[in-house]
Structure 1
Amino acid sequence: MALSPRTEPDTVDELLVEVRLFSAEFPVLLANHLPMIIVALDRLGASSERLREYFETYRTTNGLVPTPPPVAPIQRDRWTDALGDRTREYDYRAFFEAEVRRIGIDSAIQTYLPTLIPGIGASATHGMMRTAYGLMRMDPTEVGTALGYWSTTYLSMPRATGATPTTDDPGQVLARACGLADLHQIEAETDLLWHNIRAAGEKPDFAPVVDWLEIGPDTGRRLAATSLALFAATMDFSALHALTGSHWIRLIGPHLDEADRPALQRYFWQIIASLVPKIGFPSLPSAEQLDEWRHLPAPGWPEIAAVATQSDDEHDISLVFSAREEEAVYGDRLYRVVAARRMGLIA
């Protein structure tokens, strides 16, 4: 199918209106990626026909369900009372859509997101994903919906205490987390990603992890580089969320007050550290190994994007889009290599 430079905006907007009729999760407690993937497909060059085809395939294959019915309005002065209550999805979405209309996108982000950041594992970080995609388009309804999604699926994890950090290297945080005895005894309720995150957060040994990373001006780049190395070494589903998540926090950060940006990085990396058991307690590759992979033959982004837009796997599309966007910022060719490998274009 031929690719167009961009889908006409009306198609994307039309489909986003329709997808907001559905819950942000589908049975059983799986993240509904459809609104974000519609945008990613558009940015990768998919035609309007392909977007509509993907919409129908995703909707029917995953059995998307309507947003739960309203329970009671969320009150502005007590808006945190129901955090993490999935029965309140309609109420939180309605509240935040109204707040974004009332005070604007950036003011809503600056007012409410600092409280939500410690629960960044919400729906396995997909509340963060939807927020990032809404901000990428500066779409007020999507931003409001995303904040509601983050709130209703808020995931409590150990809080930062202000203890002295132990390293400015995100890779060292992962390596040290791999050595925690408690993380070798994880018994998650199910194999859901957020259940694994929650199980790690409940282990006493894991509590200090959130304080380990020293945040500085270069932390965003180092998180992205470590996430890329982690995914290149493992090609693991959970590690994929480190790479894409680094993209999402990069999109969200500029909309926060400067003082609140370090928390976004800190709590995001706590979530990635919580996933080391699920990834298999990985070791990061050497600089020499990364450089060898970086120089592997790989097709260009147009070819990778063309293959990705024909995939029905939301994680293929998400990964390729984020990798392309991150390479454009950081200039690391390894993003193209891992995207090509994910799409089966190279071994």
Structure 2
Amino acid sequence: MGLDALVAEARQRSAEFPDVLANHLPMILVALDRLGAGPEREAAFFETYEIDKGLVPVPAPVAAIDAGSWTSVLGDRRREADARLFFTGEVTKRGIAGALSTYLPRLAPGVAGSALHPLMRLAYGVLRGDPAEVGTALGYWACCYLPLPPAGASPPDTDDPGHVLARVAALPGLRALPAYDHLWHAIRAAAADPDFAPVVDWLRIDGATPARVAATALALYAATMDFAALHALTGAHWVRVVSRVCPDPMLLRCFWQSVAALVPSIGFPTLPDPEWIDAMRRLPCPDWPLIKRTAVASDDEHDISLVFSASEEEKAYGDPLYRVVAARRVGLIA
């Protein structure tokens, strides 16, 4: 079975599996293919992942929605089938770029839903130019929509994404938060703190912001190798991919708000200084072909996701630190 057929088969499963965890299968199949896996490896990963995660079918439809009623399903996981059907139809009618320009501005403030994984699915659909996956991703995004405090209450006051994270780490109310099993639960809890409300407005967005966000996410992950921080690095890649088709400053703003809400989960980190980062870049490190082969052989979806995103971000930004963190993630260097 080829990649197209595997992705189509994966689409028959729900976007989440018990207990509200993100189904990475269709995205990881694409990442495996782009990392050099062949059909046999992709099919084997499908079988292993489905069994290990206990994937479930898409829930039954509830009621049809249309352009006037689609917002009624926001945040309602029971409406996954209805949302998928509506958005797939909208992509068919408007095209990928047209559907994104129509709906992404309304969906962007809920990007934290399902721990950013609707954004991931959308990015991989955009990468392949796959209308069915783009429609499915938009439906997933809608039914898992997680609103955080809205933007627009105050003017931005910094162009440094790292400064945003440092200020969030200093918010006293976040220190009392418990640990959470799900990243999106942690995001929701941090965002509910009254002191967190203005965070969304702090970052000034301009043409250089995507590169600054990517560099900060890379430094954050390099310094911590933390699971939540991994999603900052990969998420910056996903935003960049989607923004090529539909540039929306609010998507980047709300993405970084979501990353900021993960500061407690990451352990209130301090970003490393430039000297530390330069030293990390100079570490002896395998070349990409070995890193990619190691990721392809892994059954850990986050190994594969991180290595693919890091390799793509190095192409975009030229920073060799991406190769170092990818090698560390798959255990090739300490």
Question: For each residue in 1:297-320, what CA deviation from the matched residue of structure 2 results, as whole angstroms up to 9, or x when unmatched?
Answer: 100000000000000000000000
Three-state SS of the structure 2 residue aligned to 1:253 is: helix
1:298 aligns with 2:289: no
How well do the aligned residues superpose, as a CA RMSD in angstroms?
0.9
1:153-192 correspondence runs (5 A): 153-187=144-178, 190-192=180-182
Contact 1:168 1:214 in 2 (8 A): yes
Contact 1:187 1:199 in 2 (8 A): no
Structure 1 equivalent of residue 216 of structure 2: 226
Q: How many residue pairs were aligned?
A: 334
Structure 1 equivalent of residue 100 of structure 2: 109
Tell me, in whole angstroms, the C-alpha distance in 2 between the residues paired with 1:184 and 1:11: 48
Letter in 2 for 1:197: I
Tell me, in whole angstroms, the C-alpha distance in 1 between the residues paired with 2:249 and 2:141: 19
1:130-209 correspondence runs (5 A): 130-187=121-178, 190-209=180-199
Contact 2:153 2:198 in 1 (8 A): no
Tell me, in whole angstroms, the C-alpha distance in 2 between the residues paired with 1:68 and 1:220: 36
Structure 2 equivalent of residue 31 of structure 1: 22
1:240 aligns with 2:230: yes
Gaps of 5+ in 2: none
Tell me, in whole angstroms, the C-alpha distance in 1 between the residues paired with 2:55 and 2:95: 30
1:110-125 correspondence runs (5 A): 110-125=101-116
How far did residue 162 of structure 1 move?
A: 4.5
Letter in 1 for 2:190: A
Alignment counterpart, residue 9 of structure 2, candidates 2, 8, 18: 18
Question: For each residue in 1:88-130, what CA deviation from the matched residue of structure 2 results, as whole angstroms up to 9, or x when unmatched?
Answer: 0000001001111111111000000110000000100000000
How far did residue 164 of structure 1 move?
A: 1.4
1:48-127 correspondence runs (5 A): 48-127=39-118
Alignment counterpart, residue 33 of structure 2, candidates 29, 42, 57: 42
Tell me, in whole angstroms, the C-alpha distance in 1 between the residues paired with 2:202 and 2:173: 17
Structure 2 equivalent of residue 212 of structure 1: 202
Alignment counterpart, residue 321 of structure 2, candidates 334, 338, 343: 334
How far did residue 187 of structure 1 move?
A: 3.6
Letter in 2 for 1:244: T
Tell me, in whole angstroms, the C-alpha distance in 1 between the residues paired with 2:89 and 2:73: 17
Tell me, in whole angstroms, the C-alpha distance in 1 between the residues paired with 2:98 and 2:264: 38
Gaps of 5+ in 1: 1-9
Tell me, in whole angstroms, the C-alpha distance in 2 between the residues paired with 1:295 and 1:206: 37
TM-score by length of 2: 0.99
Letter in 1 for 2:260: A
Contact 1:84 1:155 in 2 (8 A): yes
1:314 aligns with 2:305: no
Tell me, in whole angstroms, the C-alpha distance in 1 between the residues paired with 2:283 and 2:244: 34
Three-state SS of the structure 1 residue aligned to 2:2 is: helix
Letter in 1 for 2:127: M
Structure 2 equivalent of residue 324 of structure 1: 311
Percent identity at matched positions?
60
Three-state SS of the structure 1 residue aligned to 2:71 is: coil
Structure 1 equivalent of residue 244 of structure 2: 254
1:268-287 correspondence runs (5 A): 268-287=255-274
Structure 2 equivalent of residue 5 of structure 1: none
Structure 1's consecutive aligned runs of 4 or more residues displaced over 6 angstroms after TM superposition are none
Question: For each residue in 1:186-238, what CA deviation from the matched residue of structure 2 results, as whole angstroms up to 9, or x when unmatched?
Answer: 246x4100000000111100000000001111000000000000000000000
How far did residue 178 of structure 1 move?
A: 0.1
Contact 2:83 2:143 in 1 (8 A): yes
